[in-house]
Structure 1
């Protein structure tokens, strides 16, 4: 066996190590297995695959690229099963790794291209140089791009953005593989230098665009979060104004209490009992128009109070059981988004029921210090079908999946129940 050729193939296949690092860094907090166990098992498995793959290439006289497609298929299958995040995020992180390794391979191919025979195999030093380029790129990626991508995977819920984003690194991978397979023997040092400069320029543009995308996506995510928080603050402000108006009204009623006593006393002394009853009924009605606090948490109370008024205007009977502490262990804005979207959907479906048959019940409480339950039950048009998919339902499902929770819709006759369970 040609041991020099075997070592060259082993070094080429060793690109799997930096590729695995690029895949691992942005999802290291989302693994389905223990991190240390994965690192040990992954390192040993890759070493075995590299040694065996190099042997197969030598014995069958195959180029290492012959193992490219089956290796990618097996690698993505393992990645899919080991990482706990939506498919489009996995695709983006995975193809970022393949794109970066393709950039390294093409740069190395142009840098070390032969002047006479394009078909001559690479030397051991050339394979080692390619591996060194990959390690350098991984170091830069780990410092600059991996933290941004990790943050986006954890925080960005824009499904339209993710569905389109993974196509960029996938397309770059295909482009560089095609360029690498078409790299000719360059006739002169000047042509080789021009090819190298063109390759480096293209790679710089590709990586810059990827970096700009990550920055843009981060800003878009932060803007969307600020918009949600602003809507919540608007609702809280409206709730505060309502409570302030109620307090002022109550203060005026109590201030005028002596005048009311004089009127009551005058009607009683005159024996006008019917007028007295009517006056007391009006006065009691004015006092009973209370705006109760529905939840100890101010943000949730504001959302519930807003939809309580909406339900009252639509003639929907409501029941609130919001047993939450003043401070929550999850962002209030996210819980309020879920509750608000579900209540909005519930009131829309309640409107399809005849007057007098509209009801809404919302229950939210801590099931344990690390688990929160939310149930929204409401009247709906009779039928077994779950509510049609909408942007509001998708938004709730995305937030639930972020907490590894459950989102279940049940329908019994004209009653629909939405169950949400969050693991905090």
Structure 2
């Protein structure tokens, strides 16, 4: 083996690999399957294989153009292997990285043909000029590429639709195919023409435009989903208020009827007392007690908003024969906004009730605990869950529609806003949800 060629090839592969994996791995640093050491080992092995292939092709006088394809396949394989995320979303994002590299290399080839013209140039010959130009171009453009990738990654993973991502990745990939098909055989005469560089720049601009339009469309879809979620929450709140109104109206009617009948009861009691018929009076009182309606109205806590939500879901749980246990100590007023607090309790209890309704072979239950103390609110909801939830990358898939559930995502978002913590855990047929929120205790209006 020609070790000097191998060493130079390994250096060139390193120059290409570092930017590629910065763009492909850094946005997913919290979603890696393996430690960084293992990732570096995979990259090192990939570079050894590619450098060995290049050295073999050079020593046998064969074309080295195939090394581009090998680099793309090896790098993407490591990318898919190490990042724990949806394959089609990764492929969609990976296409941008490939187009970025194809464009930067095209610019490098064009500049080299203009600045260091040599009729014998081959663009895979490991020239020092090539290495210098590609290093400078990657250094200058990498920050912009990384910023784009971070923004694109954030937006892409906010939209969950398997069918959509299985198709849309081919749109940016078609740009890569056009570039490679048009410029597969590179030579000095082709590369020196302005048509060569303009074609690559135009196609890359089209790639960026495609990504921009798609990401804006995804953002619109996400906002629409948020509006629908808010509308659903408003409907739930209206239903809760209506339930409270019905209960209040029922109690008012019962009080009115009781006041109407009270005069007759007092007259009869007075008659028994005047007649000395104490035994008959006791019997009458016992019979009257049995006719009184049960006191179903309950105040679960002093906070009106939370009490309204608990009352609503408590009534729904009673209708579904779900054991409903509540232990809440919250003051009437809290510095935490009522919409956020209602969203947390509403999402937790809605998910818990849905899970309990699916349990037909056991006695379902919901246990709720909440407390405010020393500038913190701690909420815990445990419930029966007969079917283990499907979790991907720390998120739970919805049981109502395709994609991930919005309820738990909303709870996480609120917890992050209040410097809190969220923990969702399934174990032995029970789903445990815990939320901790932090706020300034000095402005709290109540203490335990």
TM value normalised by structure 1? 0.67
Whole-Å separation in 2 of the counterparts to 1:132 and 1:80: 28
- 8 Å CA contact 2:106–2:200 kept in 1: the answer is yes
Greater CA deviation, 12-21 or 92-101? 92-101
1:12 positional shift = 5.8
Cα RMSD (Å): 5.1
Gaps of 5+ in 2: 273-279, 331-335, 371-375, 391-397, 413-421, 437-448
* Correspondence for 2:134: 130
Q: Distance in 2 between matches of 1:323 and 1:172?
A: 59
Alpha-carbon distance in structure 2 between the residues aligned to 1:302 and 1:163: 43
Residue number in structure 1 paired with 2:183: 180
8 Å contact kept, 1:303–1:340: no
Task: Report the CA distance shift for 1:247/1:187 in structure 2 as closer, same or farther (over 3 A).
Answer: closer
Counterpart of 1:267 in structure 2 is 268
The corresponding residue for 2:99 is: 99
Q: Residue 231 in 1 paired to residue 235 in 2?
A: no
Aligned to 2:17: 16
TM-fit CA distance, 1:22: 0.7
Distance 1:255 1:188, change over 3 A: closer
Name 2:431's counterpart in structure 1: 419
316, 320, 327: which one aligns with 2:320 = 316
Give, in whole Å, the separation in 2 of the partners of 1:75 and 1:120: 24
SS in structure 1 at match of 2:183: helix
Where does structure 1 lack aligned partners over 5 or more consecutive residues? 411-416
Offset at residue 71 of structure 1 (A) = 4.5
Deviations 1:170-221 (A, max 9, x none): 44444433333145664797xx223322321121011121122223223322
Aligned to 1:201: 202
Q: 2:350 aligns with which of 340, 345, 349?
A: 340
Map of 1:26 onto structure 2: 27
User: Does structure 2 retain, via aligned residues, the 8 Å contact 1:321–1:362?
Assistant: yes
Q: For the Cα contact (< 8 Å) 1:148–1:215, is it kept in 2?
A: no
SS at match of 1:268: helix
> Do the aligned residues in 2 keep the contact of 1:316 with 1:359 (CA within 8 Å)?
no
Q: CA deviation at 1:153?
A: 5.6
Aligned residue number for residue 333 of structure 2: none
- Please say if residues 122 and 187 of structure 2, whose CA atoms lie closer than 8 Å, have aligned partners that are also in contact: no
Q: Distance in 1 between matches of 2:384 and 2:304?
A: 21
- Residues 363, 376 of structure 1: 8 Å contact kept: yes
Partner residue in 1 for 2:122: 120
Per the alignment, in what secondary structure is the counterpart of residue 14 of structure 1? helix
- Give SS of 2:31's match: coil
Q: What CA distance in whole angstroms lies between the structure 2 residues aligned with 1:82 and 1:197?
A: 35
3-state SS of 2:209 partner: helix
Residue correspondence of structure 1 range 390-405 to structure 2 within 5 A = 390-392=399-401, 395-396=404-405, 399=408
TM-score (structure 2 length as normaliser): 0.64
1:307-337 Cα offsets, whole Å, 9 max, x none, are: 554555xx53221235577679x99747744
Compute the displacement of 1:361 (Å).
Answer: 2.2
Residues 176 and 195 of structure 1: is their aligned pair in 2 closer, same or farther, counting only changes over 3 Å?
closer
Partner residue in 2 for 1:152: 155
Q: How many residues align?
A: 390
How has the CA–CA distance of structure 1 residues 105 and 28 changed in structure 2, closer, same or farther, with 3 Å as cutoff?
A: same
